[in-house]
Amino acid sequence: MGELDGVRIGVTAERRADDLISALLRYGAQVRHAPTITIVPLAEDPELRLSTEAVLAAPVAFTAVTTGAGFRGWLAAADGWGLKDDLFTALGASRIFARGPKAVGAVRGMGLREDFSAPGESNAELFDALVAAGVENERVAVQLHGAPLPEFTDRLVGAEVVAVQPYRWHSPADTAPVLSLAHDIVSAEVDALVFTSAPAATNFLTLTAPTGAHDALRRGAVKTFCVGPVTAAPLEAAGIPTHQPERQRLGALVKLVVSTLGSA
């Protein structure tokens, strides 16, 4: 018998969904997979290539790395375009500011070194440090993940900000699984939802707005789990309470689901 036997969980992720689903199944959960976004393949993304070429057009003084996966994906795409060596040289000549251990791991894994790592793994800390470092009249490359961050990048007053956005996304071609999951939320046929990215949470809210699912989530009739505060932000802004692990990791998220919903 698994700790999650009989527990019905909706998973909204596309990226690393198999890892998350497999972990929940090992504990006996019944999993409904309803991806709320589709990721644009990096190597086929013309906007990513254009922004990469913009980074290379002139020296960069600072680089902000917001996610490890996004940074690695960006370098991999650049490699496919024959631009990796140039990009490596350009970023290596800049001061690299990273949002926590996963971003640091990606930076160091590429043979680069960071000047700063946000101790709380937050974008607020990352951009506070950039502002304090003095970016006015400097070029700053900002690696985003899934969505623009104007509330942070707009704070880099006087800087020339070159935004690079690996993992752009759009709505899935087939939204039926998401709408079916929303129906199950309203009819109390699911016990929990799990989110691993802010774009997935944001588009879930958009796609399910007419369904009544939001009210059920606000009441806590279905528990909502998020891998961290960035993922939780759009849900909490909509009045939906969330549960988050202390460490922003997939394994910690699964453990929290088990400890919250699992049988004694």
- CATH number where 197 lies: 3.40.50.10090
- Whether residues 55 and 161 share a domain: the answer is yes
Name beta bridge partners: 38: 170
Residue 31 lies in a domain: yes
pLDDT of residue 264: 43
- Whether residues 254 and 232 share a domain: the answer is yes
Residue 65 lies in a domain: yes
Say how far apart CA 47 and CA 55 lie, in whole Å.
12
| Tens digit of each residue's pLDDT (9 = 90 or more) over 214-252 | 999 999 989 999 999 889 999 999 999 999 998 888 899
Is 177:208 a contact under the CB 8 Å cutoff? no
Residue 106 vs residues 65, 119, 164, 219, 254: alpha-carbon distances, Å: 9, 16, 16, 39, 23
Q: How confident is the model at residue 1 (pLDDT cuts 50, 70, 90)?
A: low
What is the domain extent for residue 56? 42-169
Of 131, 148, 169, the residue that ends a domain is: 169
Residue 66 lies in a domain: yes
Please provide the average confidence, as pLDDT, over all residues in the chain: 92
pLDDT of residue 170: 84
Residue 29 lies in a domain: yes
Cα Rg, the chain, nearest whole Å: 20
Residue 32 lies in a domain: yes
pLDDT of residue 230: 83
Say how far apart CA 46 and CA 57 lie, in whole Å.
17
Residue linked to tokens 């969330």: 242
Residue 3 lies in a domain: no
Residue 202 lies in a domain: yes
- Whether residues 112 and 188 share a domain: the answer is no
Of 154, 169, 184, the residue that ends a domain is: 169
Q: How many domains does the chain have?
A: 2
- Whether residues 103 and 154 share a domain: the answer is yes
Cβ neighbors of 135 (< 8 A, separation 6 or more) are 61, 62, 156, 158, 159
- Whether residues 218 and 252 share a domain: the answer is yes
Residue 46 lies in a domain: yes
